[in-house]
Amino acid sequence: MSSVATEFLLETRLEPKEDEFPLLQKSDLVVEARSLDPERYYTREFMDKEWDRMWTRIWNFAGFAVDVPDTGDYFTCELGHDSFVFVRGEDDRIRAFYNVCQHRGARLLQSESGSVDECFTCPFHSWQYNFEGENVNVMDRETFQEDVLCGDLGLRPVRCEVFHGMVFYCMDDDAPPLEEFLGDLVEHLAPYDIPGMRVVKDVTVEWPANWKSATDVFYEAYHVHVVHPQITTAMDDCGIQLDFYRNGVSRFLVPFGRISPRADDQKELNEDLRGMLRAADIDPAEFEGKSGEVREAIKKSLRGVYESKGLDCSAFHDSQLVDFWGYNFFPNIGVGVSPDGLLIQRWRPHKSDPERCHFDVLTLAHPDFAAASPKIDYLEWAGDVDFDNYQRPARKELLTDEEHQVGLGLVGYQDYVNIVDAQTGMRSRGCRKLRLSDQEARLTHYHNELDRYLDGQK
């Protein structure tokens, strides 16, 4: 690390200048550093406790309301050994049910998404259910004894709520309402037109690592200088603001348009900075400032770029237009949000193996902002999307190493390599405990919240 970076971290304790980011929503919650027992990352006992005391009691992200625009449209999602179906009914309401037939437990819907005209038909014995989950047909009903068919034959419902166009579900009838669970996120995400965004990328991959091993890496920038040196030329990984909120929620504000203090060359107007200048309608050849002045120049110019295209940015701070604003929805959702679009990263536990997980990446773009977006690279937005004739891309499962590298991009693949290596190391007798720094406080925050569930405090 350069001496400049060391001095910056020691002096600020990860607290940037007050004019860096808007302080209106800044948190005063302090998170103390801690250590973690490696066993929480690989034992079946810990995995089972998580399922019984946390996963089945919290609100989980499922998908987007825009993906089920019409009556009979549905999508499914999986968590652990359970599958769920989400369908828009005749009353325009989105409902959720366990994706299991009440006859003999068959998976009612095998596909990830689709549309049906009147009802769902089980592919095993043709039992049928309407969009309210009611059983409307038992094939050859006369062959059943009446006492066998007594009680409710409908699909078992799951609590379902929509928040800013995002669909959530909860298996616990006694859990607090969604907005109470999300807390400060309700206010923070209000300015963004998430319902107006469209999915332009949807990929998933199975990793040989615990879901927390994967989540942890994406919740800190301590590793960036060594694992992702290619992005430090235009991202300040030391000037990050960390904020912590109720219920395990945290925020991660990363300055773009500024060279990392860890980098050796602080003077060159490198190609990444030049690209950001061009995105803000500034000709790099005519830019007379130094590399350290690029971010301020972008901030002053970019709002005008949007407004020249008829886009209203009055609800956004300059930082929201320039920098990376990352939130986490406890316990396993990372959300990068800007007026241009949304980057969703989700880590789901494997149904039976504590050392495997599913990693989902969904990218959304806002049709109105996409053409002016300076963040195409980080959003991984496909520039050839035709929003006038929009078709949602199907989810792609990344199976080969080549697909993995292309589908997740260089940064995602670099993280994958280190996550798998660390998962193996945590099983070593030489790994006594995991020691977290102030730079990894977002990990500490969500692990603290996880422990509250496991210890019965929630």
- Region 216-245: mean pLDDT is 92
Between 317 and 159, the more confident residue is: 159
pLDDT at 16 over 70: no
The burial of 401, by beta-carbon neighbours within 10 Å (0-12 exposed, 13-18 middle, 19 or more buried), is given as exposed
331 upstream amide cis, omega within 30 of 0 = yes
What's the distance, Cα to Cα, between the start and end of the chain in Å? 41
Least confident of 9-18, 174-183, 341-350: 9-18
Percent of the chain with pLDDT over 90: 70
| 2: pLDDT strictly greater than 70 | no
Confidence of residue 30 (pLDDT cuts 50, 70, 90): confident
Which residue matches tokens 């260089």?
410
Q: What is the pTM of this model?
A: 0.91
Instruction: Please say if the pLDDT value at position 213 is more than 70.
Output: yes
Report CA-CA distances (Å) from 182 to 161, 305, 359: 12, 33, 22
Residue 99 pLDDT exceeds 60 = yes
Question: Which residue type, as a one-letter code, is found at position 136?
Answer: V
Q: Residue 265: pLDDT band by 50, 70, 90 thresholds?
A: confident
> What would the mean pLDDT of 230-258 be, rounded to a whole number?
91
- Quick check: 249 and 182 in contact, CB under 8 A? yes
Q: Please say if the pLDDT value at position 376 is more than 80.
A: no
Grade residue 367 by pLDDT with cuts at 50, 70 and 90. Answer: confident
Domains of the chain (ranges; CATH) run: 3-58+191-454 (3.90.380.10), 59-174 (2.102.10.10)
The model's confidence at residue 189, banded by pLDDT at 50, 70 and 90, is very high
For β-strands 198-207 and 357-365, DSSP reports them as antiparallel
Q: How many CB atoms lie within 10 A of CB 443?
A: 25
Q: Tell me if 106 sits within 8 A of 98, measured CB to CB.
A: no
- In the predicted model, is pLDDT for residue 357 greater than 80? yes
Question: What is the Cα–Cα distance from 37 to 244, expressed in whole angstroms?
Answer: 23
Task: Count Cβ atoms below 10 Å from residue 150 Cβ, excluding itself.
Answer: 8
Count the Cβ atoms, other than its own, within 10 Å of residue 104: 10
Residue 11 has pLDDT above 50, yes or no: no
Amino acid at 391: Q
Rounded to an integer, what distance in angstroms lies between the CA atom of residue 436 and that of residue 96? 38
What pLDDT is recorded for position 4? 43
Nearest one of 155, 242, 148, 196 to 364, comparing CA atoms? 196
Q: Determine the Cα–Cα distance for residues 303 and 22; give it in Å rounded to an integer.
A: 16
Q: Taking Cα atoms as reference points, which of 362, 370, 445, 439 lies closest to residue 407?
A: 362
CA–CA separation, 157 and 183 (whole Å): 25
pLDDT at 20: 62
> Is pLDDT at 411 greater than 60 in this prediction?
yes
DSSP string, 72-139: TEEEEEEETTEEEEEEE-TTS-EEEEES--TTT---S--SSEEE-SS-EE-TTT--EE-TTS-EEE-T
Largest interatomic CA distance in the chain:
86
Query: Tell me, what's the pLDDT at 383?
Result: 53
Vertex 120: Cα angle to 114 and 123 (nearest 5): 95
Q: What confidence category does residue 384 fall into, taking pLDDT thresholds of 50, 70 and 90?
A: low
Q: How confident is the model over 306-324, as pLDDT tens digits?
A: 888 888 989 998 899 889 9
What pLDDT band is residue 382 in, cutting at 50, 70 and 90? low
Segment holding 343, helix H or strand E: strand 341-349
Q: Which of 34-38, 73-77, 407-411 has the lowest mean pLDDT?
A: 407-411
The answer to whether residue 51 scores a pLDDT higher than 70 is yes
Average pLDDT over residues 23-36: 71
| Structure-token match 């969500």, residue found | 446
pLDDT at 13 over 90: no
CA–CA separation, 394 vs 99, rounded Å?
20
What pairs with residue 364 in β-bridges?
Answer: 199, 342
Task: Identify the band that residue 264 occupies on the pLDDT scale cut at 50, 70 and 90.
Answer: confident
CA distance 186 to 178: 10
For residue 126, pLDDT beyond 50 = yes
Q: Which residues have C-beta within 8 Å of that of residue 46, sequence separation ≥ 6?
A: 39, 40, 354
Compute the average pLDDT of residues 157-172.
97
212 CB-near residues (< 8 Å, 6+ apart): 40, 41, 347, 447
DSSP per-residue letters across 167-196: EEEES-TTSPPHHHHHTTHHHHTTTS-GGG
